[in-house]
Amino acid sequence: MSKQKMQYQCTACGYAQRKWAGQCSGCGEWNTLQEIRQQQEGKGRFSGFAGVAADSDIVPLSDVEAEEIARRPTGLSEFDRVLGGGLVAGSAILIGGDPGIGKSTLLLQGMALLGESTRPLYVTGEESIQQVSLRAKRLKLDVGHIDILAETSLENILTQVTKHKPSVLVIDSIQTVYHDSMQSAPGSVSQVRECAAQLVRYAKLSQTAVFVVGHVTKEGAIAGPRVLEHMVDTVLYFEGDAGSRFRVVRAIKNRFGAVNELGVFVMTEGGLKEVHNPSAIFLSRHDQAVSGSVVMVTREGSRPLLVEVQTLVDTSYAGQPKRVTLGIEQNRLSMLLAVLHRHGGVSIADQDVFVNIVGGMRLSETAGDLPVLIALLSSFRDKPIPNDWIVFGEIGLAGEVRPVPNGEERLREALKHGYKQAIVPAGNAPKQGIDGLQINVVKTLKQALELL
């Protein structure tokens, strides 16, 4: 027998090398190299799809007609929002999330609501057909038009889909699918990369919308090689706290729509229900104004959201004051505290500082700078901000209050929820004003503090 060649492959990036080392030479990650048997290229490789044309030719880009992309609604408006308006033929969509978060439930509900005119195929590799049927029965879904296949071999899956030609294909999950020509175990870097590449190729050639479910690591990233997210058209993360009924679908990458788009659901006994007014989740209206609480308007994709910022400033009895943040970067908080001291004349260097964004939200933009500082000062002075005030704005290192995108849209969202006063950057003040909302414009942090 010929001696099999061995190599060491990185589980993070897929880079292969002949000798083991503590650090991957490709991406620089530590302790990610695993020993695998070297595969024989081209042997047993699934080379084509029956009945699917693969011919291509070079054409001038100017001769290509830019047609409007046709979209198929899934029946879940929040899901359609994240997808960019609906399903696009030939798109490959990757959905990742923690175990038990509801990925399979979301896809099964979406397939059931597509209607009788479609014939989706649900390929399950982790559950039996009976388990999927029991879930559909428990959710009271009409699944008469849905085909199901329990299979983990990629060759068998592609043989079936080229035969039946479904309009939508669901792979649950990519970590259970394996390629016969590769000797590594299912879920390994090489298997995930090769199987995903074949599925994406099939989606493009057959114009079939393909959903791929992916596991996540303990850090929250999708398991497998990073190139997996580059191959697909859309990357969605299904998020939610363990003790909360609310679920959030977030678009990290989307070639057919806006990134950082947000869809909000609530998990019930009857499955996932849409939340059309997500601002109500992240707001906890107090009967009376309390110190350290300020409401701001953030923006997730194309949607403005009202979020409550809560802070607590307390005397520190330790040698090193605490800086604890939930939903905002700790380095940004340190920068804001320095600006507050230098340009606001307020020093809380000897105080413990706690900042929390209510509802588990994470501020991914700079519009929360001014609300955080105002909330900190409110807690430090023990002076509440009125319940009908709204604040947003970016803080510069020179103490200036800088405008943020879509200022007028944020103000109208605040007015819709009953807010009467607003503190905004001068660059976000609407020229015509907004009836029912008094807008206070500020140019510097010092002006904002004097206004309060």
Which of 189, 438, 168, 422 is CA-nearest to residue 297?
422
Confidence (pLDDT) at 82: 92
Please, how many CA atoms are within 13 Å of residue 78, restricted to the half-sphere of its CB? 21
pLDDT for 54 equals 57
Q: What is the pLDDT of residue 39?
A: 52
Instruction: Give strand pairing partners of 212.
Output: 94, 171
Q: Give the amino acid at 5.
A: K
At 16, give phi and psi (nearest 5°).
-115, 140
Per-residue DSSP letter, 213: E
Share of the chain above pLDDT 70, in %: 92
30-37: average pLDDT? 78
> 319 or 132, which is more confident?
132
Residue percentage of the chain with pLDDT more than 90: 54
- Taking Cα atoms as reference points, which of 243, 247, 201 lies closest to residue 46? 201
pLDDT one-digit tens code per residue, 316-374: 988 889 999 998 999 999 999 999 999 999 999 899 999 999 877 888 889 999 999 99
Phi and psi based region of residue 85 (left: phi greater than 0; alpha: psi -120 to 50; beta: remaining): left
Please list the residues that pair with 148 across neighbouring strands: 122
Over residues 165-204, the pLDDT tens digits come to 999 999 998 999 999 888 788 888 888 889 999 999 999 9
The structure's pTM equals 0.76
Q: What does the pLDDT read at residue 52?
A: 61
Worst-scoring range by mean pLDDT, 42-56, 286-300, 369-383, 426-440? 42-56
Check whether 445 has a pLDDT greater than 60.
yes
Q: Where are the alpha helices (DSSP H) in 149-206?
A: 154-164, 189-206
CB count within 10 Å of CB 274 equals 14
Residue count of the chain: 452
- Can you give the pLDDT at residue 41? 47
pLDDT band at 55 (very low <50, low <70, confident <90, very high): low
State yes or no: pLDDT of 152 exceeds 80. yes
- Residue 182: its pLDDT value, please? 81
- Of residues 258 and 139, more confidence is placed in 139
**In the prediction, which pLDDT does 358 show?**
86
As a whole number of angstroms, the distance between CA 337 and CA 198 comes to 51
Residue 48: which pLDDT band, with cuts at 50, 70 and 90? low
Pairing of strands 389-391, 421-425: parallel
Question: Could you read off the pLDDT of 383-436 as tens digits, one per residue?
Answer: 999 989 999 999 999 999 999 999 999 999 999 888 999 999 999 999 888 999
Closest CA to 74 of 118, 132, 138: 118
Is the confidence at residue 224, as pLDDT, over 80? no
Please enumerate in sequence order all residues whose Cβ is within 8 A of that of 271, keeping only pairs 6 or more positions apart, or say none: 105, 109, 139, 141
pLDDT at 66: 76
**What is the pLDDT at residue 188?**
83
> Which value, to the nearest 10 degrees, does the dihedral of the CA atoms of residues 29, 34, 37, 42 take?
-30
Q: What is the mean pLDDT of residues 148-161?
A: 94
Quote the tokens at residue 58.
Answer: 């070079």
Of the chain, the end-to-end C-alpha distance in Å amounts to 83
Tell me which residue has tokens 């802070």.
311
State residue 138's pLDDT score. Answer: 93
- DSSP letter for 178, please: B
Q: Does residue 44 register a pLDDT over 50?
A: no
Confidence of residue 38 (pLDDT cuts 50, 70, 90): low
Greatest Cα pair distance in the chain: 85
Give pLDDT tens digits for 288-299. 889 999 999 998
Task: Say whether pLDDT at 164 is over 70.
Answer: yes
The pLDDT mean for the chain works out to 87
